[in-house]
Amino acid sequence: MEHIGFGAFSYDLAHLLGAVVLVLSFALLSQARVTSVINTYALQAWALAAAAGWQGWVQHAPHLYITAALALFAKGIVIPIALHGIVTRLRISRGIDTALGIFPTMALGVMLVALSILVVLPTTIQSQALTREDLATALSVVLLGLLMMISRRTALTQVIGFMSLENGLILAAVGVEGMPLVVELSVAVLVLVAFVVFGVFFFRIRAQFDSLEIRHLDRVGGAHR
């Protein structure tokens, strides 16, 4: 492998692609309509596929191409189409009910990115620069996914938040040199399976409550029984 550092093309491109994934995480947070959330998620999956593919090229690790292909086809094409189908079939309202306004969410998001950089960079001083940056970016994407899950009220957007969190995990896994295939494959399988699970949930929730709103699901009432 060639030297990786500032100025090297392989480094710059990997960095850029990781940053695109991160920026799309912010874009996900700022969308006000369900369809645009799904489209942004698809874009993020494409960026992830490009990042994974480029890592495969740089690390001479052909198995990463499989990860890239899975990200592209499953998360970039199949899942968004299915989600659009769900939105149309269930006549989900197009607007998104947010628990937090866009601006406070974005501000929190920026703070989370700062936090992950502050956590990751000092702990990885001896590692390669690419690994460090990649890990910081990945952790940011994971945290932004979590933020999306708590700042959105509808089940559909929470699901997308969860899947975008998983994109962060794959970004972390592909950025680490020589990581065995197990993890990437498992994550890819997980996303598919998770989607099936969620699909089941959607239809059940729809059948029970006539709505995909999480707050209808507040009957068990945590610790009060």
Partner 1 sequence: MTDLINPVALVPTLPLLGALLAAMTTNARAGAVIVIIAAAGGFAAACALPWEMQVSVFLLVDPLSAQVALLTSFVGLTSAIFSYGYIRTELTSGRLDPPRARLYHVLLLTFLGFMLLALLSNNLGVTWVALEAATIASVLVVGLPRTENAIEASWKFFLICGVGIALALFGTVVLYLAALPALGPGYAAMSWSDLALAAPRCRGTLLNLAFVFLLLGYGTKAGLAPLHGWMPDAHAEGPTPVSAVLAGSVLNVALVAILRLRGVMDANAEAIAPGPFLMALGLLSVLLASLSMWGRRDVKRFFAFSTIEQSGLVAFAFGLGGPAATFAGLLHMTVHTLAKAALFQCVGRVAQRKGLQVFAGISGLIGSDRALGLTLATAIVVVAGLPPFGLFTSEVLILGETVNRAPYLTPLVGIGLVVGGWALLSRLVGLCLGTPTYGPGPATSPLALIPAWVHLTLVLVLGFAMPTSVVAWLGAAASVAK
Q: How many CB atoms lie within 10 A of CB 62?
A: 9
Question: Which amino acid is it at 209?
Answer: F
Among residues 5, 94, 208, 210, the one that binds partner 1 under rule CB under 8 A: 208
DSSP letter, residue 223 = G
**Amino acid code (one letter) for 34:** V
User: Would you say 42 or 214 has its CB closer to partner 1?
Assistant: 214
Q: Which of 81, 97, 197, 215 binds partner 1 (CB under 8 A)?
A: 197
Residue 60 or 103: the one with the smaller Cβ distance to partner 1 is 60
162 binds partner 1 (CB under 8 A): yes
Q: How far apart are CA 136 and CA 190, in angstroms?
A: 23
To the nearest whole angstrom, how small is the minimum distance from the Cβ of residue 178 to partner 1? 3
Q: Are 17 and 47 in contact (CB under 8 A)?
A: yes
62 binds partner 1 (CB under 8 A): no
Helices within the chain (DSSP H only):
9-30, 34-58, 63-70, 79-90, 102-123, 129-151, 155-175, 181-209
User: Judged by CB under 8 A, which stretch of 32-40, 80-88, 93-101, 142-150 contacts partner 1?
Assistant: 142-150
**62/178 with CB nearer partner 1:** 178
> What is the footprint of partner 1 within residues 86-125 (CB under 8 A)?
119-120, 122-125
Count CB atoms within 10 A of the CB of residue 70. Answer: 22
Backbone angles phi, psi at 121, to 5 degrees: -60, -45
Residue type (1 letter), 148 = M
Q: Given the structure tokens 């489209």, which residue do they identify?
A: 39
| 183, 199, 211, 213: residue in contact with partner 1 (rule CB under 8 A) | 183
Contact positions vs partner 1 (CB under 8 A): 119-120, 122-127, 131, 135, 138-139, 142, 146, 149, 155, 158, 162, 165-166, 168-169, 172-173, 176-180, 182-183, 186-187, 189-190, 193-194, 197, 200-201, 204-205, 208-209, 214, 217-220, 222-223, 225
